[in-house]
Amino acid sequence: MSRTALLALTLALGTAAPALAQGFGVSAPDVAGRAEVDEHDRFHLRLTTFSRAGQQQRVVTGAVVRRTATALTLRYEVDAPGSRGIIDTLLLRPAPTVRVTETATLQARAGGWEGTVAGVPQRWVRQGALEGDTVVLVVPGLSTNLWNQYGVPYLDENLAALRARGLDARRLAINTEESIAVNAAEIAREVRAEVARGKRVVLLAHSKGGADTITALSDPANRDLLPHVHGLMAIQPVYGGSPIADLVGGTCAIQGTVDLFFERALPKLNRVDDAGSRDAVRDLRSETRQALLRRHPYPVAEVPTVVLRSSFSGRATFKPRHVLRKPLFVFQKFLEKTQGVASDGMVSLEWQRIPGAAAEVTLDDMDHFEPGFRGESPHSPCKVTNLIVDRMAAVLGR
């Protein structure tokens, strides 16, 4: 083959194959990580595996030995059990560890790579638009600061998964017992502070945090921020309202009890925030949410938006590992039987939808709390985070 033909073939393969220069976010159901390949075709892979027992980190290094438009072949060394001798067997000693060389071939999939490396099935996703000078601000849901103070690991795994992928991420310290208007103003201040630091912002919001964030971005006073907000990842957002908030508001006695709880009881329980607002729940009524959206429509055409919705049903016997989940089971059954709607126990599947969103993921068998800490669902916080980040990376990479 002539030098000219060889050069043309090299250029063609380099153009067709997914780019490697910026590195990749790595995702699997309970694994998050980052893969980097340098100019000398050396690769460095960091994996974090999440489970109820905690996190385990692993590093794999090696070389890219073959690359085409459709496949990427890696060679690397890993520790593996060696053979046990008679003495080891008699003394019940574990097998010695030996270093072995393995190869893995990843297949090109939608601008990334998929395959098994070091025994872990994984996907490498280009996420350059989420890196560099981009910061991910995580917005928590209703009353969840209180959970964290009392040992519920809400959003902890999600944050760890974001950081394991190499992303700059932090949780906003908003008062999660406050009204949507107060929290929206605080979110806008946080975004403005990041912009002043020269940062681009991507927001990841759960539950009422989604309503707070959408209100902040919809406010005409914050239109100057929109060019700097490169995306919103909304998990179970209370977009159109909550039927449970409607149920509470339908009875004066129930609404009054909830008002007193937020205004008087929560400040005594809460070790950080010194006040609660009766509007924290009132703002989630469907009439209130939809009226606000009509007055200030969400600028979905200007903010790339990915939504992750969920519902759950069919849990005939429900023995949750955490007491917070018991009401969700009751609420979900009530909504299913009285209104015929699918829900996550707090928000109906339909009212979680954001019209015009660039991408939408819908999961079965996940209640309203399970995106933030582990429960009975097969969808772990790590998996949820990977799903929505992968979709956002794809949307921003178009």
CA pair distance 346, 329, nearest whole angstrom: 10
Same domain assignment for residues 272 and 387 = yes
Output the pLDDT for position 201: 98
Q: Which of 75, 93, 125 is the last residue of a domain?
A: 125
The boundaries of the domain holding residue 236 are 128-396
Same domain assignment for residues 265 and 186 = yes
In whole angstroms, how far apart are CA 234 and each of 264, 284, 398?
30, 16, 19
Output the pLDDT for position 48: 98
Residue 343: φ, ψ to 5°: -155, 170
Average pLDDT over residues 126-146: 93
- Note whether residue 3 is domain-resident: no
- Note whether residue 375 is domain-resident: yes
Q: Which of 104, 125, 146 is the last residue of a domain?
A: 125
Residue-averaged pLDDT of the chain: 88
Same domain assignment for residues 179 and 100 = no
Same domain assignment for residues 181 and 230 = yes
Give the chain's domain count: 2
Same domain assignment for residues 326 and 234 = yes
Average pLDDT over residues 111-132: 93
In whole angstroms, how far apart are CA 163 and each of 23, 199, 287, 308, 330?
14, 17, 38, 20, 35
172-190 pLDDT tens trace: 999 898 999 999 999 999 9
Same domain assignment for residues 120 and 132 = no
332-351 pLDDT tens trace: 999 999 999 999 999 999 99
DSSP-derived pairing of the beta strands 42-51 and 54-67 = antiparallel
- Note whether residue 10 is domain-resident: no
Q: Which of 80, 95, 125 is the last residue of a domain?
A: 125
Report the first-to-last Cα separation within the chain, whole angstroms: 36
CATH number at residue 56: 2.40.128
Asked whether 289 and 344 are in contact (CB, 8 A), the reply is: no
Average pLDDT over residues 223-242: 97
CATH number at residue 202: 3.40.50.1820
β-pair partners for 122:
115
In this predicted structure, which of 110-114, 138-142, 287-291 has the lowest mean pLDDT?
Answer: 110-114
Average pLDDT over residues 131-139: 97
Torsion-angle region of 236 (φ positive above 0: left; ψ -120 to 50: alpha; else: beta): left
Tokens 């601008």 map to which residue?
A: 111
Output the pLDDT for position 84: 65
In whole angstroms, how far apart are CA 398 and each of 15, 35, 305?
16, 21, 13
Contacts of residue 298, defined as CB under 8 A and 6 or more positions apart, other chains included, come to 214, 217, 218, 354
DSSP one-letter code for 226? G
- In angstroms, how far is CA 254 from the centroid of its own chain? 33
Whether the full predicted model's pTM is greater than 0.75, yes or no, is yes
Same domain assignment for residues 48 and 37 = yes
Same domain assignment for residues 254 and 321 = yes
Output the pLDDT for position 126: 92
Output the pLDDT for position 80: 79
Output the pLDDT for position 342: 95
Residue 274, pLDDT > 70, answer: no
Average pLDDT over residues 78-94: 71
Please indicate whether residue 267 or residue 378 has the higher confidence score (pLDDT): 378
